[in-house]
Amino acid sequence: MYGLTDTDRQIQARAATFTDELIPLEVTAELNGGDLDKEVTAGHAARARELGLCSTNMPAELGGMGYTALQQVLVQEQVGRVTNALGWVCSTPPSWMTEVATAFQLEKFIVPTIRGEREECYAITEEGAGSDVDAIVATARRDGDEYLLNGEKWHVTSYNSADYAFFQGKLAGGDHDGEHAMFLVDLPSPGVRVLRTPAYSHTISHHHPIVAFTDVRVPASHLVGAEGDGMSFAYEWFRYERLMVAARCLGAASRLTDEITRFAAEREVQGQPIARFGQIQAMLADCLTELFAARALVYETARAIDAGADVKVQHGQCSMAKLYASEMAGRVADRAVQIFGGRGYMRENVAERFFRELRVERIWEGTSEVQRAIIADQMLKRGPRALA
Ligand SMILES: Cc1cc2nc3c(=O)[nH]c(=O)nc-3n(C[C@H](O)[C@H](O)[C@H](O)COP(=O)(O)OP(=O)(O)OC[C@H]3O[C@@H](n4cnc5c(N)ncnc54)[C@H](O)[C@@H]3O)c2cc1C
């Protein structure tokens, strides 16, 4: 099914095997604030690497796996079947960096990240700038051979484990005054401090603190690309991450669909399996139908990328994939809680965990409303047939 090659299937099978090894640890993580023992997590990271599930998006000549977009989707789909972000050990560094990074940046930041020796985080969103990234007020001012960074960043995912950050600010002064620029900031660095670590709906080991950057000095060699380039990197990253969000949502929906099908066949009420009730059957049927539709959309989007589709078309299709797959997974999780009944409200139940965890898939990397705006904009500019 889905026209996968033998290689695609082997990659998919390795990712499935790895995910099956993680699933038994979900409840331990859930009841322990998202954390497993450090050695256990280190073991998972090593195993993911050994199975070829890390840096799948990075070129082989830099030590990455050099997978096709479809193969990357197949890995992330399997990884999406496990809750509590235990699958995040299958890390994917920012692939756009290979195009713009200097030799120094490749050696100091990117190649070690591909090898799993360094970890990045993204400091872009601010209190007043989320969907509208252009509204950021963080600044970067050139001072001799350095830049001086100032700003307060929200939701900085994985700050607690990362050892460098991508910081986006607006240039203050100079030829590109008011334009965006992106910088690499080693962590810890003088002037970078956590203001607050809020609690979020999901229970994962990666925190999302609010981080202040106060007069943080970085060498000019830490500027990514050129002054004024900052926004284009964010767009490039969004396009990639949106497709991967969609892939993980397929995995979550597929796990839930398997679990509710099994439960509905086993759970007896009034002397018969609940699967005999038409209302339960309708929910099961809707889950699988929507999962099939979403998977076809996501795989086709990945194939278009591999075939070298126009980058604007890729952008629109990745938005459609993220929009549909994340909303589909949310509906599947809601039905799954319902089918499990009271059990579905217990934190030890996979449906309860996914019900909370999947909610953010409609928010981060661009909300559903933002995806719809992107899709409609492209439809009006290029016509619907350019995209689908
Ligand atoms: C758990 C988590 C982790 C995150 N990790 C990171 C991270 O690592 N780094 C980082 O930089 N950011 C991160 N983010 C930020 C995330 O990308 C933003 O939350 C998201 O882009 C939405 O921005 P916002 O929260 O400011 O909402 P807002 O932009 O304030 O939006 C509020 C509402 O208005 C709607 N809206 C906005 N614009 C439009 C429009 N044009 N048309 C219609 N409706 C619109 C939105 O859809 C939403 O419903 C994270 C967020 C969360 C929740």
| 3-state secondary structure labels for all residues of 21-55 | HHHHHHHHHHCCCCCCCHHHHHHHHHHHHHCCCCC
Q: What residues contact 30, with CB distance under 8 A and at least 6 apart?
A: 83, 84, 203, 347, 348, 353
DSSP string covering 214-235: EEEEEEGGGEESSTT-HHHHHH
Pocket test for ligand 1, best of 127, 205, 367 (most atoms within 8 A of CB): 367
Q: Which of 236, 290, 357, 365 is catalytic?
A: 365
pLDDT given at position 236: 79
> DSSP 3-state assignment of 168?
strand
- Mean pLDDT on 260-269: 98
Please provide residue 128's backbone torsions phi and psi, each rounded to the nearest 5 degrees: -105, 10
Per-residue pLDDT reduced to its tens digit, 354-388: 999 999 999 999 999 999 999 999 999 999 999 99
Per-residue pLDDT reduced to its tens digit, 133-159: 999 999 999 999 999 999 999 999 999
pLDDT given at position 173: 97
Radius of gyration, alpha carbons of the chain: 22
Q: Is the pLDDT of residue 234 over 90?
A: no
Per-residue pLDDT reduced to its tens digit, 41-70: 999 999 999 999 999 999 999 999 999 999
Per-residue pLDDT reduced to its tens digit, 268-319: 999 999 999 999 999 999 999 999 999 999 999 999 999 999 999 999 999 9
Instruction: Report the percent of the chain where pLDDT is more than 70.
Output: 100
Pocket test for ligand 1, best of 91, 121, 125 (most atoms within 8 A of CB): 125
Per-residue pLDDT reduced to its tens digit, 193-218: 999 999 999 999 999 999 999 999 99
Please provide residue 55's backbone torsions phi and psi, each rounded to the nearest 5 degrees: 50, 40
Tell how far the Cα of 233 is from the centroid of ligand 1, in angstroms.
17
Average pLDDT, the chain: 97
Per-residue pLDDT reduced to its tens digit, 177-194: 999 999 999 999 999 999
Distance (Å, rounded) from C-alpha 123 to C-alpha 352? 30
Q: Spell out a b/e string for 294-332, using b for 16 or more CB atoms within 10 Å of the CB, else e.
A: bbebbbebbbbbeeebeeebbbbbbbbbbbbbbbbbbeb
Q: Is the pLDDT of residue 231 over 80?
A: no
Q: Is 43 exposed, middle or buried (0-12, 13-18, 19+ CB in 10 A)?
A: middle
